[in-house]
């Protein structure tokens, strides 16, 4: 019983920390206030373009195309947040939710009822299957050092990371 409360407590702490860090990097953009559209192409394992420039306060609609053979993520965060996020992605792989070329949404929904960390619904990230396109709207309201990165095991380490320059 003690362990049960401890795990809830730890969950609440990590949830709080995550929300706090999300507001530190900006916010989910309003679809009615888009300033600019940027197309990001994802390959195995790199982005094109390799880096982007945005203005502080700008709301960007990202059109994220996966032109590779593997599933990839487009995630906007600080380097520290990406590193912290990687075990969560590893967990999706271990549970058979995230496969090399497929994201099993049915399994994800089913398993996330028991373990919320498997739902992977973050407003600063999209996971895209090969040959598919997804969208993400982000407002760069804070002046902070950010990276766009893929946190699927091994991808960040093999170069799937790029700079976001906020001017």
CB burial of 66-86 (b: ≥16 within 10 Å; e: otherwise) equals: bebebbbbbbbbeeebbebbb
150 binds Cu ion (CB under 5 A): yes
72 binds Cu ion (CB under 5 A): yes
Q: Which stretch binds Cu ion (CB under 5 A): 11-19, 54-62, 67-75, 138-146?
A: 67-75
Q: What are phi and psi of 38, to 5 degrees?
A: -120, 130
Checking DSSP bridges between strand 27-28 and strand 133-139, what pairing results, if any? antiparallel
Q: Which stretch binds Cu ion (CB under 5 A): 77-85, 96-104, 131-139, 151-159?
A: 151-159
Which of 108/160 has CB closer to Cu ion?
160
Which of 18/153 has CB closer to Cu ion?
153
Cβ-based neighbours of 106, under 8 Å, separated by 6 or more: none
Which of 59/65 has CB closer to Cu ion?
65
Q: Which stretch binds Cu ion (CB under 5 A): 24-32, 55-63, 101-109, 147-155?
A: 147-155
82 binds Cu ion (CB under 5 A): no
Q: How far is residue 139's CA from residue 63's CA, in Å, rounded to a whole number?
A: 14
Q: Which stretch binds Cu ion (CB under 5 A): 9-17, 56-64, 94-102, 145-153?
A: 145-153
126 binds Cu ion (CB under 5 A): no
Q: How far is residue 8's CA from residue 117's CA, in Å, rounded to a whole number?
A: 12
152 binds Cu ion (CB under 5 A): yes
In three-state secondary structure terms, 60 is: strand
Structure tokens at 18: 């995550």
Whether the Cβ atoms of residue 88 and residue 156 lie closer than 8 Å to each other: no
- DSSP for residue 30: P
64 binds Cu ion (CB under 5 A): no
Binding residues for Cu ion, per CB under 5 A? 72, 150, 152, 155, 160
């Amino acid at each position: 019983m003690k362990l049960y409360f401890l795990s809830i407590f730890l969950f609440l702490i990590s949830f709080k920390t995550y929300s706090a860090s999300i507001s530190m990097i900006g916010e989910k953009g309003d679809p009615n206030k888009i300033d600019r559209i940027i197309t990001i192409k994802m390959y195995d394992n790199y982005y094109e373009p390799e880096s982007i420039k945005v203005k502080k306060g700008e709301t960007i609609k990202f059109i994220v195309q996966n032109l590779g053979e593997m599933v990839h993520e487009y995630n906007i965060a600080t380097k520290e947040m990406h590193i912290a996020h990687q075990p969560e992605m590893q967990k999706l792989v271990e549970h058979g939710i995230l496969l090399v070329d497929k994201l099993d949404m049915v399994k994800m929904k089913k398993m996330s009822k028991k373990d919320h960390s498997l739902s992977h619904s973050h407003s600063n990230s999209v996971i895209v299957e090969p040959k598919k396109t997804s969208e993400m709207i982000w407002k760069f309201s804070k002046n902070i050092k950010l990276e766009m990165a893929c946190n699927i095991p091994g991808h960040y380490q093999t170069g799937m990371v790029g700079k976001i320059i906020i001017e």
